[in-house]
């Protein structure tokens, strides 16, 4: 079951605008605390690495948890547009790391990007480089993790290279991991599930392409926020798995005075994409600004 850690808004960020939706695929890992680290690595121009989310402070999530997978929204300043970030999640039990995963992400202004981190338990991190939990870079409270070799979707540390293709719903990194040849939202999926407001990792239906929950940002980034003045799409999903429009009653044009004693009320959206003018009324006194006085 997917549990929500909440939302983290960094200084200068505008909520519901630019950021990351980080999914931590923990499976059956037994944990009582989580630490999220997000780093902007050093660049070729000499700029040093910058820790945006510190697992010891802003990215520290103590339990209790319901268990299972977790997710968190991280809202970022718009000026990070185009930045390549490294996300590392560490699961702990009694203060000892028990699982860890890393994924790369690219920030896009006015978009909430999905980032899937597939957690690797300590007893399964046997690939090249050893365990991800034995004091390596990116451990909770440690140094920034090195850049991952994969894109958004994560890269597991080690693991057997001759594993059989997994069934739908199993965690994955690439299409080659899956019998279906579709790795979507961090799990093997029945299809490419590429439509707006669709997800292959909804709670209780992992591996099946289903409508995303209503009221969340479109996981595919296909639903643009056209602004309340248009009464068009607002960047979120509706109850039927389509791009939602601004709801009925949303102000699309402010109230205004028509002359010294006539007020035109604010225009509002009808919920279907149209902005309707407000009624015009005569003031008992004067009309000043946007109200009768």
Q: What pLDDT, in 10s, does the model give residues 199-240?
A: 998 888 889 998 988 898 988 888 999 999 999 999 999 988
* Residue-level pLDDT at 148: 33
Domain of 70, in residue numbers: 3-162
Q: Helix, strand, or coil here: 168?
A: coil
For the residues 156-177, what does the mean pLDDT come to?
A: 71
User: Residue 131 has which token pair?
Assistant: 């365990």
The H-or-E segment that residue 118 falls in is strand 112-118
Lowest mean pLDDT among 64-68, 198-202, 204-208, 278-282: 64-68
Which of the four pLDDT bands, split at 50, 70 and 90, describes residue 163? low
**130 plus 263 within the same structural domain:** no
State the total domains in the chain.
2
* Residue-level pLDDT at 95: 84
**154 plus 256 within the same structural domain:** no
* Residue-level pLDDT at 96: 86
Cβ distance 87 to 124 under 8 Å?
Answer: no
Domain stop point among 132, 162, 192: 162
**Is residue 92 assigned to a domain?**
yes
**Is residue 228 assigned to a domain?**
no
Average pLDDT of the chain is 80
Domain stop point among 129, 162, 195: 162
pTM: 0.44
Domain stop point among 109, 141, 162: 162
Higher pLDDT, 151 or 30: 30
Which of the four pLDDT bands, split at 50, 70 and 90, describes residue 293? confident
**157 plus 265 within the same structural domain:** no
* Residue-level pLDDT at 14: 63
Which of the four pLDDT bands, split at 50, 70 and 90, describes residue 134? very low
**Is residue 184 assigned to a domain?**
no
**Is residue 10 assigned to a domain?**
yes
User: Residue 5 has which token pair?
Assistant: 């850690």
Contacts of 199 (CB under 8 A, 6+ apart): 185, 193, 209, 210, 211, 212, 219
Q: Helix, strand, or coil here: 8?
A: strand
**288 plus 144 within the same structural domain:** no
């Amino acid at each position: 079951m997917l549990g929500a850690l909440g939302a983290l808004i960094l200084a200068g960020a505008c909520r519901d605008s630019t950021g990351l939706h980080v999914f931590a695929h923990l499976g059956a890992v037994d944990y009582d605390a989580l630490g999220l680290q997000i780093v902007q690595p050093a660049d070729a121009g000499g700029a040093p690495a910058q820790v945006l989310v510190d697992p010891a402070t802003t990215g520290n999530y103590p339990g209790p948890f319901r268990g299972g997978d977790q997710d968190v929204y991280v809202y970022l300043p718009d000026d990070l547009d185009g930045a390549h970030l490294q996300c590392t999640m560490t699961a702990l039990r009694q203060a000892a790391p028990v699982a860890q995963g890393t994924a790369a992400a690219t920030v896009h202004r006015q978009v909430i990007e999905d980032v899937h981190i597939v957690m690797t338990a300590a007893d399964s991190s046997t690939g090249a480089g050893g365990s991800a939990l034995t004091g390596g870079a990116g451990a909770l409270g440690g140094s920034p993790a090195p850049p991952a070799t994969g894109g958004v979707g994560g890269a597991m540390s080690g693991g057997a290279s001759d594993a059989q293709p997994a069934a739908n719903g199993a965690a994955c990194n690439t299409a080659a991991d899956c019998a279906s040849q579709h790795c979507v939202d961090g799990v093997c999926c029945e299809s490419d599930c590429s439509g707006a407001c669709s997800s292959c990792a909804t709670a209780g239906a992992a591996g099946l392409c289903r409508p995303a929950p209503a009221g969340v940002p479109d996981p595919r980034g296909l639903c643009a926020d056209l602004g309340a003045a248009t009464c068009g799409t607002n960047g979120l999903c509706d109850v039927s798995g389509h791009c939602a429009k601004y709801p009925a009653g949303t102000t699309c044009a402010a109230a205004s005075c028509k002359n010294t004693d006539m007020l035109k009320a604010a225009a509002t959206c009808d919920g279907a994409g149209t902005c309707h003018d407000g009624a015009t009324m005569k003031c008992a006194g004067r009309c000043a600004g946007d109200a009768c006085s």
